Amino acid sequence: MQTPTVLVVDYGAQYAQLIARRVREADVYSEIVPASLPVAEIVAREPAAVILSGGPASVYAEGAPAVDPALFEAGIPVFGMCYGFQAMARALGGEVAHDGTREYGRTEVELTGTPGTLHEGLPRTHPVWMSHGDSVTAAPAGFTVTASTDRVAVAAFEDTDRRLAGVQYHPEVGHSPHGQEVLRRFLHDVAGIRPSWTTASIIDETVEAIRAQVGDGRALCGLSGGVDSAVAAALVQRAIGDRLTCVFVDHGLMRAGEREQVEKDFVAATGATLHVAEAADRFLDALAGVTEPEQKRKIIGREFIRVFESATADVVADHHVGFLVQGTLYPDVVESGGGDGTAVIKSHHNVGGLPDDIEFALVEPLRALFKDEVRMVGAELGLPEVIVGRQPFPGPGLGIRIIGEVTRDRLETLRAADAIAREELTAAGLDREIWQCPVVLLADVRSVGVQGDGRTYGHPIVLRPVSSEDAMTADWTRLPYDVVERISTRITNEVSEVNRVVVDVTSKPPGTIEWE
């Protein structure tokens, strides 16, 4: 039975990925499609519903994306948000004013005498998050206006007979406290979609897809020590059993203790066949003299594949291995330009940087998932908390957390500082409060310090604690000052090459989580 799918039409929204996540939180599967996708192709995919996202344009701007009215004749439930709400209203014969009416940020909406299905029982006046310059001044024929603000007469409308609805605000963001309930009501009550996207269903469907792709073949999986590769491997092993061989490439770019964690915890939890490929010298030689971030990523990706090709001969010489398992996640795909109109922010180890002559077909069982979904799947598969609760760690490892050339000495310096930061964050009980805390060595920067009554000229270490739900956006984590002080004191006392510790307080955007 095909899983009901909601298509999120992306009009350039900052929160398109967040909309997709919120739909999944309502136990309904979702995918994002570009606004350029013709209605005929949308209809051909037989979606259970369509959501029209927000976007930065005015519906009156030249070249602004418009909604083909044919979409509303196809019998598909449609929900418009912000720009999608205005485009929907205009396509259906309503009126949208380009009159300078603007609402940005927290805004109070007031329900009308007929709050309708989406807002029934909610507080008559409640806050929502607005971000618009145009406004709907008249709803299309057949629609009931269910909410307004002191500046716009039409803040929400619905026509439940045709299963169409929309809101001017952003229900997907946390600043709209009743937004998730409104979205859930559209999906379940207006669109009539049965909530069936659960952890168990993800596992069952993914295992079935892996079996269909791999058939009787064999696969290799590179374990990085992180949750993504571990869950990907566990899924593939459930699908094909001992025809999967896991390879841990010790490229010398891991953090302290991570090789031991893979050898002990993952193998104990899964019983998987594990081969450790010693390759630290090879990676360091390939990275010698390289400082440009993208070049580092491409080199690490290339060498990673080459080591796998060598491991194929060493580990399964008597069998052809045709598949390589990777823990690619949905945000990796988006940030690497995996959809129409998406800018390439950086090439991910799991997406970009692979050589053109790769000899494996890729198996990416997590490609459609967000990180929180991956963690839930891992727990359901029986992986221990030490694995599924682990902070994200990039495939290229510490190689992209050294700003400058990667050398053995610099790796040891960063490893020591990182171990101290992780130890103190764990001791303070902060592991679950932060999404990730990259520790960065500014290897090409030195600063003057005083240690032991003597002048020093050491490197700065950057702490980058961030809070996020899916890594698409992030805010810097306000760590307690006493924790920051302990981390700084220990690093400057125990790591001789470091004489300064700083905290990165930049959100994403404008900054990325990793420095490189």
368 closest CA partner among 235, 211, 504: 235
Which residue type, as a one-letter code, is found at position 90? Answer: R
- Find tokens 């060595």 and name the residue: 441
Q: What is the DSSP string of 26-76?
A: TT-EEEEEETTS-HHHHHHT--SEEEE---SS-TTSTT-----GGGGGTT-
**Is 172 among the residues known to form the active site?**
yes
**Is 82 among the residues known to form the active site?**
yes
The token pair that represents 479 in the structure block: 């760590």
Strand ranges (E), 120-186: 125-132, 135-138, 144-148, 156-159, 164-167
Tally Cβ neighbours within 10 Å of residue 464: 24
Q: What is the DSSP letter of 194?
A: -
The token pair that represents 298 in the structure block: 């491409």
Contact criterion met (CB below 8 Å) for 280 and 292: no
| Radius of gyration in angstroms for the set of CA atoms belonging to the chain, rounded to a whole number | 25
- Find tokens 């309503």 and name the residue: 94
CA-CA distance, 85 to 98, in Å (whole number)?
14
Contact criterion met (CB below 8 Å) for 81 and 53: yes
Mark out the alpha helices in 187-226 (DSSP H runs). Answer: 199-214
Q: Which of 119, 170, 178, 459 is catalytic?
A: 170
Q: Which of 25, 158, 172, 373 is catalytic?
A: 172
Contact criterion met (CB below 8 Å) for 173 and 15: yes
CA-CA distance, 441 to 428, in Å (whole number)?
23
Cis bond before residue 510 (omega within 30° of 0):
yes
Q: Which of 82, 221, 246, 437 is catalytic?
A: 82
B/e letters for 381-390, b = 16+ CB within 10 Å, e = fewer, are bebbeebbeb
Contact criterion met (CB below 8 Å) for 307 and 249: yes
Give the residue numbers annotated as catalytic, written as ranges. 82, 170, 172
